[in-house]
Homo-oligomer: A and B are copies of this chain.
Amino acid sequence: MIKSISKVIDSWGGSSYFLVKEIENGKNIVNEWKEKGGTVIHLTMYGININDLQDKLDKIKYPLLIIIGAEKVEGWYYHNVDYNIAIGNQPHSEVAALAIFLDRIYKGRELYMEFGDAKIKILPQNAGKKVIRNG
């Protein structure tokens, strides 16, 4: 998984923006994050609908630590994060949940993000594909 992410970053850029690593203890990171004054968010279908938290999200304290789990997340996280936020209270893709969350907090600006170290860039087209390669 880390290997395939590194390959994507190598082509599309973001090497100084993304850091991918495996960790042993997620709880330590949650605790440290809160101690430093950041906000910890857990995206879960059991949480509060993001639509009902928009006002709070606009005033949230950065930096954000966002936790998304696959099948089973330990109960500890539900009770130790700042917000349990639901991208709707029905089963859904965790990747889609993160995407919508980011789209809501960045208000779409994330879709214009570009990385200076990208070897490949796309030139948006009405139809067809246009790719630019740098070196």
Contact = CB atoms under 8 A, between A and B. Distances in A.
Interface in A40-88: 45-51, 75, 78-79, 84, 86-88
The prevalent SS among residues of A at the interface is mixed
A12 interface: yes
Given A98-B96, A103-B100, A111-B50, A126 B89 contact: no
A92 interface: yes
A8 interface: yes
Given A46-B122, A47-B125, A78-B127, A110 B96 contact: no
Contacts of A100: 96, 99-100, 103
Contacts of A96: 93, 95-96, 98-100
A116 interface: no
A3 interface: no
Given A93-B95, A95-B95, A96-B99, A113 B129 contact: no
Contacts of A98: 96
A125 B46 contact: yes
Given A93-B99, A103-B103, A111 B78 contact: no
Contact of A49 (B86, B112, B130): B112
A134 interface: no
Nearest to A83: B126
